[in-house]
Each structure stands twice: as C-alpha cells, then as structure tokens.
C-alpha cells in the first residue's frame, strides 16, 4: 500500500505479503497445536493469518516467520511474534479448510538470523 495514496498518510502501513508461518497456540477445542499457516497481512499492531484450526477470541498465539534470502536480503531471517486472537475469523476457505484469523500483536518481537 502506498502511503501517499492513503486517506491517512501518517497512520501505520499495512503490508499484504503472504508469508509462510509456523503458528503455535492452545485451542480450547483441540488443545495445544503447532500448524503451518500463512500470514496474509501484517502491520505494527495486527496480523491476519490463515490456518485450519478454529480459534476463539482471546487465544494466545506464537507466530514464527521464516524470511528467505532475496535480492535485497543477503541472509535469511526468523521473526518471532506473539499476540491474541481478536476474531476467530470467517468460516473455512478453500480445499485446505483454512480460516482467516485476526491477531492483535504484542509489542515485543524478535528478529534474528536464520541458521540453515
């Protein structure tokens, strides 16, 4: 999203970038889980993730993003985020039965080089 086109140019930027993510948490229905998911969008305050496990508001999650090497990024990175589910999201989408989940992110995060 181009900030100059936004009606609120001084607000945080939202990045729509599908990134693979490892999501860990504890579902009241299924207990502790670790699932491969996808971050559909990310901002400083919120993330929208796509996973198959149905989650309720208030569920705490840990999200690990593995950022690959690119033309601009010489070394792969791992970004560790945590947060709380704000919305259990819409119903299942597509053949993987994935759901879009809105997560309010905690302020603490960790970026470190990824070891091969």
Give a yes or no: residue 19 inside a domain: yes
The predicted-structure confidence for 16-31, as pLDDT tens digits, reads as follows 667 899 999 987 777 8
Is position 93 within any domain? yes
In this structure, is residue 7 part of a structural domain? no
Domain holding 97: CATH number? 2.30.110.10
Task: Provide the number of structural domains found in the chain.
Answer: 1
Q: How far apart are CA 76 and CA 80, in angstroms?
A: 14
Q: Is position 4 within any domain? A: no
At 93-108, the pLDDT tens digits run 555 567 889 999 999 9
In a domain, 2, yes or no: no
pLDDT at 49: 92
Q: Name the residue range of residue 93's domain.
A: 14-113
Cβ contact 99:88 at 8 Å: yes
Give a yes or no: residue 9 inside a domain.
Answer: no
| 24: in domain | yes
pLDDT value at residue 116: 64
């Amino acid at each position: 999203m181009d900030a100059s086109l936004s009606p609120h140019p001084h607000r945080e930027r939202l990045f729509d970038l599908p990134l693979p993510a490892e999501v860990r948490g504890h579902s009241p229905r299924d207990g502790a889980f670790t699932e491969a998911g996808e971050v559909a969008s990310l901002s400083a305050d919120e993330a929208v993730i796509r996973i198959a496990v149905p989650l309720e508001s208030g569920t705490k999650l840990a999200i690990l993003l593995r950022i690959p090497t690119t033309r601009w990024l010489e070394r792969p990175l791992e970004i560790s985020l945590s947060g709380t589910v704000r919305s259990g999201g819409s119903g299942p989408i597509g053949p993987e039965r994935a759901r879009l989940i809105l997560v309010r992110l905690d302020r603490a995060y960790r970026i470190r080089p990824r070891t091969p």
